[in-house]
Amino acid sequence: MGLLPKLSTGNTSIGLDIGSSAIKLVQLQDTKNGVALYKAGSAPTPRESVKGGVVVDPLAVAKAIESLLEALQVESGTVTAGVAGPTVVVREVPLPVMSDRQLRKSIQWEARNYISFPVEDSIVEFEVLERPPAGEASQMRVMLVAAPRDMVDSQVEAVELAGLDPAAVEIQPFAMMRGILATDGMATEEGDTTAVLGIGAAYTDITIMKDGMFVLSRMIPIAGDAFTEAIKNALDVDTEEATQLKETAMQVVSSEEERATLDPAAQQASRAIEPLLDELIREVRRSLAYHDYQQQAPDAGAGDLGVSRILLAGGSAKLPRVHEYFQAQLGVPVEIVSVFGNGHLQAQGVNQEYLRSHAPTLLVGAGLALRELRSAKQRRGEVAEKAQ
């Protein structure tokens, strides 16, 4: 579901994930053997240029995107960008049965009941999930998506200033889902429920899907920046040194015995972030419990509820052994996301070492790029069918 849809052409597509810490770019190509990764890379986001999902300094971000395009030797093309943040709303809502045309006219009014920011300053989209036959029910199921207009417009402005053509702006949870569903290695069985934790810089996004369909999404304000700040304060070092320690020497451990195997600075860092990790896990557990409550049915059995597995994505998913810690605390299988490799999305010819070390951070970009690539392929198929 795009907040700013636009037709695209060609057999390549770019997904651009503009975060508060890093800008990630993924370019996919539609080949005769399927979708393949063409190019991928990342660059630091200019300091203080993205806040709460809004690009507050589009020119600085555009220059960073231009430098990334030059480094990767990516020519101008169509781009799908992604928005995320505490002000983005995505939820299933019950609405009175009406036609799409009627809903389009009334959606702004209906949305007032579900979003906390002014509707007139927002972009609101919808998708009807289930419309009952006439006379059978008075309500239909609708997926409502809303984001502040300045969040969407600022992304578009930065992309255009960088010389790229914005094809769509999409919410990141849908992009994450698309990237996971495109990966054979993470295929789900019927009835499986998967929770995806995107542990970014400012927020952790938990998205739950069942049978490949969106169920719920929630933002938790505990993520990589909070970990870095905790290390910085505990060791009395600057941000750069704290980040370096977090990414290279530290490990997430489950006992003091394991922590004792690390060097003294890494021990301090590991101990500093543990309360934050535990608080994050408590918030994840609350989200899973809320999901279970929402999904209850009168005839549900004990095995019908709960998530089957948890997938970790985002920069902090790269913390050594963090998935083991989550698994031990939550009692659910936990894996690190790896979109490229044995699945539908091949990555031959791309730096494999880069993919191994950055795989969790490329999920959103891959899902964004897939959106327009598949849309273009579908439109070409429809044209070919009509020509027959």
Distance CA 298, CA 365 (A): 40
382 sits in which H/E element = helix 363-387
Q: Based on the fold, state whether residues 109 and 133 are members of the same structural domain.
A: yes
pLDDT of residue 349: 64
pLDDT of residue 386: 41
Q: Based on the fold, state whether residues 169 and 273 are members of the same structural domain.
A: no
pLDDT of residue 283: 96
**Structural domain tally of the chain?**
3
230 in a domain, yes or no? yes
Lowest mean pLDDT among 66-75, 85-94, 336-345: 336-345
For the chain, give the number of residues. 388
pLDDT of residue 88: 92
- Can you give the CATH number for the domain in which 135 is found? 3.30.1490.300
56 in a domain, yes or no? yes
Q: Based on the fold, state whether residues 79 and 27 are members of the same structural domain.
A: yes
286 in a domain, yes or no? yes
Residue 304: is its pLDDT beyond 80? no
201 in a domain, yes or no? no
198 in a domain, yes or no? no
206 in a domain, yes or no? no
pLDDT of residue 8: 47
113 in a domain, yes or no? yes
Provide CB contacts within 8 A for 46, sequence distance 6+. 57, 60, 61, 63, 64
Q: Based on the fold, state whether residues 179 and 270 are members of the same structural domain.
A: no
pLDDT of residue 121: 92
Lowest mean pLDDT among 43-57, 176-190, 262-276: 176-190
Using CB atoms within 10 Å of the CB of residue 377, give its burial: 0 to 12 exposed, 13 to 18 middle, 19+ buried: middle
Q: Based on the fold, state whether residues 153 and 139 are members of the same structural domain.
A: no
Go through 304-327 and write b for each residue having 16 or more CB atoms within 10 A of its CB, e for each that does not: ebebebbbbbbbbbbbbebbebbb
Q: Based on the fold, state whether residues 18 and 166 are members of the same structural domain.
A: yes
Average pLDDT over residues 91-116: 90
Provide CB contacts within 8 A for 44, sequence distance 6+. 21, 22, 23, 64
pLDDT of residue 300: 43
Q: What is the pLDDT of residues 147-195, one digit of tens each?
A: 999 999 999 999 999 999 999 999 999 999 999 988 754 555 667 889 9
Phi, psi of 75 (to 5 degrees): -80, 165
Residue 221: is its pLDDT beyond 90? yes
Q: Based on the fold, state whether residues 65 and 152 are members of the same structural domain.
A: yes
Lowest mean pLDDT among 21-35, 98-112, 138-152, 341-355: 341-355
CB 272 within 8 A of CB 262: no
pLDDT of residue 272: 96
Q: Based on the fold, state whether residues 154 and 285 are members of the same structural domain.
A: no
Residue 6: is its pLDDT beyond 70? no
pLDDT of residue 271: 95
Residue 380: is its pLDDT beyond 90? no
Average pLDDT over residues 86-113: 90
Mean pLDDT of the chain: 86
Q: Based on the fold, state whether residues 365 and 304 are members of the same structural domain.
A: no
Q: Based on the fold, state whether residues 330 and 348 are members of the same structural domain.
A: no
- Can you give the CATH number for the domain in which 176 is found? 3.30.420.40
> What are the tokens at 178?
């698309």
Go through 258-292 and write b for each residue having 16 or more CB atoms within 10 A of its CB, e for each that does not: ebeebeebbbbbbbbbbeebeebbebbeebbeebe
% of the chain at pLDDT higher than 90 = 62
- The angle formed by the CA atoms of residues 19, 22 and 350, to the nearest 5 degrees, is 115
Provide CB contacts within 8 A for 31, sequence distance 6+. 11
Lowest mean pLDDT among 58-67, 188-197, 298-307: 298-307
pLDDT of residue 323: 95
211 in a domain, yes or no? no
Distance CA 316, CA 322 (A): 8
Go through 151-170 and write b for each residue having 16 or more CB atoms within 10 A of its CB, e for each that does not: bbbbbbbbbebbebebbbbb
Distance CA 251, CA 220 (A): 22
pLDDT of residue 384: 39
Q: Based on the fold, state whether residues 129 and 258 are members of the same structural domain.
A: no
pLDDT of residue 302: 42
pLDDT of residue 368: 96
- For residue 248, the enclosing domain spans 220-335
Residue 237: is its pLDDT beyond 90? yes
For the packed helices 322-330 and 264-295, what is the interaxial angle rounded to 10 degrees?
40
Of these ranges, 84-93, 286-295, 339-348, the one predicted with the greatest mean pLDDT is 84-93
pLDDT of residue 374: 66
Angstrom distances, CA of residue 22 to CA of 78, 245, 270: 20, 18, 23
Average pLDDT over residues 360-374: 90
Q: Based on the fold, state whether residues 352 and 307 are members of the same structural domain.
A: no
% of the chain at pLDDT higher than 70 = 87
